[in-house]
Amino acid sequence: MDNEARLIYEIKRGNEVILDQIYLENRNAFLRFGKKMMGDTSTLEDIYQDAIIAFYENVSAGKVTTLKSSIATYIMAIGKFMIYRHLRKSNSLVMLEDFNTAEIDKVFYEYIDTVKEDDSLVLSLEKALKKLGEPCQTLLRLFYYDGKNNSEIMEQLHYASTDVVKSKKYRCLQYLKQLLKSVLPDGR
Amino acid sequence: MEDRYGSLIDDYLRGVLTAEQQREVESLLTHDENFRKELNFRKGTASAFARIRHQELKSRLAKLADKQKQDVVFLHPAVKARRRIGYAAAVLAFCIVGLGFLLFMKMTPSAGELYAGYFSAYPNVILPLERAADTPDARSKAYALYEAEQYQQAYDLFTTLDSDTDPEALFYAALSAMEADRIEDAVRLLGNYGRTPAPKLERQAKWYLALAHLKKGEIELSKELLTQLATSAGYNKDEAGALLKKLK
């Protein structure tokens, strides 16, 4: 197993130390590259961290199983896309359309849009989820974030049947809706 | 709204609908306000979980960034400062002798300056401090000392560890030796580490061995290792290429 294959294997195992390693190994090269496109070093560092996490999370979730190029090339392409995206939002003369979308997998854009967009419903749900107790938080996270199916959740949380999982999931969602009402700005 | 559409929405979010179900969803999205709200709620829940996880990892990296002292620029500040003094001296000389034309002075960094510019301690990626805190055995102490930049003590402890069970201890012993200005020891240890079966930090070891040879003035040995790194993908490929150019 070569070094990159080992890193991918470790990411899929959930080894967060690998995140640190990838971060440290690619940081200087990325910042040098990014400084050619924008001067704000703290924003660049922020973008770099987002790019690393986007890579880590999508590999970890199994959405990216094989790499078309090296990890460093991936990180650079994701970061470049995010720099374009940032510059477009700050009304710079850069067009996001100029970015060659073939450079990275579609899942990366989707992930970046998900975690960077400031949708008010999502922001309120984030607050509500933090108030949600156990086992609801774990059950919903397993389903809506980790992508586990009812059978897998049944085994992991030791429920009697998948019907129990469905029923508990439904009740947890109803409870989440109540919490959502309490955190929505206008109390809807 | 009862959970009558729950499974349909969840399958939609997972992208596992049949063509017929897909059409049903599209129709419901157009005509059924409650369905649309429920879908947005569940989709938003998935996004909110992703944001929470992203923030957790971001917080981890932010802590790492705080610890990271490497500068983006190529040269170490001390080297840059020496260069600035050199330029100032050149300007002064220009004034004294009254030369009538602009003097441009280009300074070529020495091997020692290049070493200072390129060397920075490799981070502890084997046993992070927070995990080591509860298990104060010799191994944990060695990595903790390394992170605390107490390199001589870290070196002393790393060299007592069993390299069969923790081969990376050889690598970190070598890095500690470099920081403690024990270059001969560093060269020996990095060589030993490179000969262990499947070293995890093989490229990193080559990089630091190249720097150690550079420090010793063994330019050809350094160039040989840098060429290996610059011509294959992975850790510090570009850095090795850049340093190689400066040595040619």
Per-residue model confidence (pLDDT) at position B116: 82
The pTM for the full model equals 0.56
- Is A130 in the B-facing interface, judged by CB distances under 8 Å? yes
Q: Establish if B69 touches chain A: CB-CB under 8 angstroms.
A: no
pLDDT string in tens for chain B (248-residue length): 446 688 889 888 888 888 888 898 888 898 888 889 999 899 999 989 988 888 888 888 888 877 765 444 444 555 556 656 666 765 666 556 555 544 444 456 788 888 888 888 887 777 765 454 555 788 888 888 888 788 888 988 898 888 888 888 999 999 999 988 888 889 889 988 888 888 888 888 999 999 999 988 888 889 989 998 888 877 788 888 888 888 87
User: What kind and span of H or E run contains B127?
Assistant: none
CA angle B218, B223, B227 (to 5 degrees): 160
CA distance A97 to A80: 12
Handedness of CA A160, A165, A166, A170 (dihedral sign): positive
Do residues B50 and A114 make contact, with C-beta atoms less than 8 angstroms apart? yes
Q: What angle do CA B178, A3, B164 make, to 5 degrees?
A: 60
- For residue range B139-193, what is the model confidence (pLDDT) as tens digits? 888 888 888 788 888 988 898 888 888 888 999 999 999 988 888 889 889 988 8
Residue type for A91, please? N
Chain B residues whose CB is inside 8 A of the A121 CB are 40-41, 44
The residue of B40, B49, B237 whose CB has the most chain A CBs within 10 angstroms, and thus the best one to mutate to test that interface, is B49
Q: Give A20 to chain B, closest Cα distance, Å.
A: 7
Interface ipTM above 0.85: no
Distance (Å, whole) CA A29 – CA A36: 12
User: What residues 11-30 of chain A have any CB closer than 8 A to a CB of chain B?
Assistant: 16-17, 19-21, 23-25, 27-29
Determine whether the interchain pair A72/B237 forms a contact, defined as Cβ–Cβ distance below 8 Å: yes
**Chain B residues closer than 8 Å to A128 by CB:** 48
How crowded is the C-beta side of B122, counted as CA atoms within 13 Å?
Answer: 28
Euclidean distance between the first and final Cα of chain B, in Å? 73
Nearest by CB to B58, from A53, A129, A169: name it. Answer: A53
